Structure 1
Amino acid sequence: MSRSPLLLSLAAAAALTFAAPVYAQDPGHVVVAIYRVAPGKQMEFLKWMATREAIDREAGVGATQWYAHMSGDSWDYVAISPDVDDATSDKIDEMTRKRGLKAGPQGGLEFRAMVASHTDTLAAGPLTAAQMVDRASKP
């Protein structure tokens, strides 16, 4: 295994570990997103995300935790956010449109103009290693 994927895996694991105070005691689902921002689009991307994050907060969605790249692999940001249901997602889209912002497919196209690549992964957590052992031990 090359060092870059290993470092990214360790960073994601550390991020999930330190996310514990934000979420409830009972582990839920989170979305772990890794972003590589397009050249020259850093500030535009951050402002776009901050605007959407404010709408999420107004809709009652828990805070996203952001991690900025310092060294190692080629990602720029890792974000860990609550996984929302369809009804909440629809509510967020409606609130976004009411502010004159793009949502849905149009919002997706606007977003993709700012990123070179990104991945979204659904994960369970946050969990301790002992909790994962306990879960894996149950039939």
Structure 2
Amino acid sequence: MIKSILIAAGLLTAVTPAFAKPKTPTISPAIAPAPAPTPVPLTQVEIYRIAPGQHQAFLEFIAKCDEANKLAGLPPRQLYVHSDGADWDFMLIQPAHTPPEKAAALDAAWDKVGLPSGSNFFFEIRKYIAEHTDTAAKGPTTAADYLATASR
């Protein structure tokens, strides 16, 4: 009898894998590619020190420029007004480039509001300015977003 039990146990052991529920194969989860980093926009930062007595006229000129932007479907410049510290009066921040699909609309809006073009623009705006600097900067962004654009 013990021999029959051992044989049966051996047979059961040998047969069990055939009747056992098959194991689900381990499937590695697909690794999704990391999303492409968001490009950091190129921004123009302009800092102005205004000629004496020309502060209001300068702002009126910039308001006309912003009106042209609005007519063309572009945002106005961001204006910062000096309140304490360094030797400047106004800072303007805006995209460094006009999107190509908005260029014709901006040209038409510029003419519509009566703004000068070409060298006449520079002659006009310089009436109001004692000194200015401008620079292109990447942003706005965050430290994490900018780091994501670095090649590893």
Q: Does 1:69 align with 2:82?
A: yes
Unpaired runs of 5+ in structure 2?
1-37
- How far the C-alpha of 1:107 sits from its partner, in A, is 1.4
* More helix by percentage: 1
Q: Which has the larger radius of gyration?
A: 2
Map 1:1-139; keep pairs closer than 5 Å: 27-85=40-98, 87=100, 88-89=102-103, 91-136=105-150, 138-139=151-152
CA–CA distance in structure 2, aligned partners of residues 89 and 33 of structure 1: 21
Name the TM-score, length of structure 1 as normaliser. 0.71
Name the TM-score, length of structure 2 as normaliser. 0.65
Identity of aligned residues (%): 34
Letter in 2 for 1:107: F
Q: Which moved more, 1:106-115 or 1:26-35?
A: 26-35
Q: Structure 2 vs 1, CA of residues 103 and 90 (structure 1 numbering), >3 Å: closer, same or farther? A: farther
Letter in 1 for 2:125: F
Unpaired runs of 5+ in structure 1?
1-24
CA–CA distance in structure 1, aligned partners of residues 123 and 50 of structure 2: 14
Q: Which moved more, 1:106-115 or 1:61-70?
A: 61-70
